[in-house]
Structure 1
Amino acid sequence: FSYTRNTEADITPSPSPRPHPSDELEEGEVEEVCDISTPPSEVLVVEGQAEEPFSTDSAQRLIGQIMLWNGQIDRMRDQTDSMRNRLDTMQQEMKNMIDVLGRI
């Protein structure tokens, strides 16, 4: 799968060069359409069955949404870390002010 990032909030899937799975399959038969590899430390789990057939377009939309949310989570994490650092600095400055007042 490949994606083109137009803006921070806009991810557009590129058209898939692979052919769509054959409609000649009987219910319960499996046709391999691609290989998915994950690093050994990661586990890919798929549960349940969708009411409608799962298509390449569906997968690309889900992957695009995951990429978008992952970027948003990273930005939120960075903002949270920045705020936490600022709060720690403010807390230390308040302690210093209290120490100064205690000496007066």
Structure 2
Amino acid sequence: IIIGEKRLRQQSKDPRTPPSHQPEADITPSPSPRPRPPDNLEEGEVEEVCEISTPPSEVLVVEGQADEPFSTDHAQRLIGQIMVWNGQIDRMRDQIDSMRKRLDTMQQEIKNMIDVLGRI
């Protein structure tokens, strides 16, 4: 997969000018032709073909967000929420695995009971 550059509009230099909530993005295709996959690349292996970076002066404006700039405090709160949700997801996965094992056991017991009833 070849990924070109994505340029976002820069934030207005005049602080009195309210920013538009519609991001303007230009996607520039990669200047080089699409490379052939190397012969020594095994199936399932991944090769890095380009690096994506966004200069710090470029800001993505997200519709529906507050007008205040995104701060480290905001980032810390989001990271904390992500960690909480990841913990909840892990516990749910464990519960689902436990329920699947219990269901498998119950199904086997039902099959055994049906076999016993079939012999009567």
Shorter-chain TM range is 0.5 to 0.7
Q: Deviations over 1:20-49 (max 9, x none)?
A: xxxxxx459xxxxxxxxxxx7xx9xx7725
The amino acid across from 2:75 in the alignment is: A
**Which of residues 77, 97, 100 is equivalent to 2:113?**
97
**Which of residues 42, 56, 62 is equivalent to 1:48?**
62
- Cα distance in 1 between the residues matched to 2:99 and 2:69: 45
| Deviation of the 1:52 alpha carbon | 1.7
- Structure 2 residue 38 is the aligned partner of structure 1 residue 58: no
Instruction: Kindly report which structure 2 residues correspond to 1:12-51, keeping only aligned pairs within 5 A, or say none.
Output: 26=13, 48=62, 50=65, 51=67
- Cα distance in 2 between the residues matched to 1:63 and 1:93: 45
- Cα distance in 2 between the residues matched to 1:81 and 1:47: 41
Over the matched positions of the two proteins, sequence identity in percent amounts to 75
Q: In the comparison of the two structures, how many residue pairs are matched?
A: 64
- Cα distance in 2 between the residues matched to 1:80 and 1:27: 54
Gaps of 5+ in 2: 1-12, 16-47, 53-59
Q: Rg: which structure is higher? A: 2
Runs of 4+ deviating beyond 3 Å: none
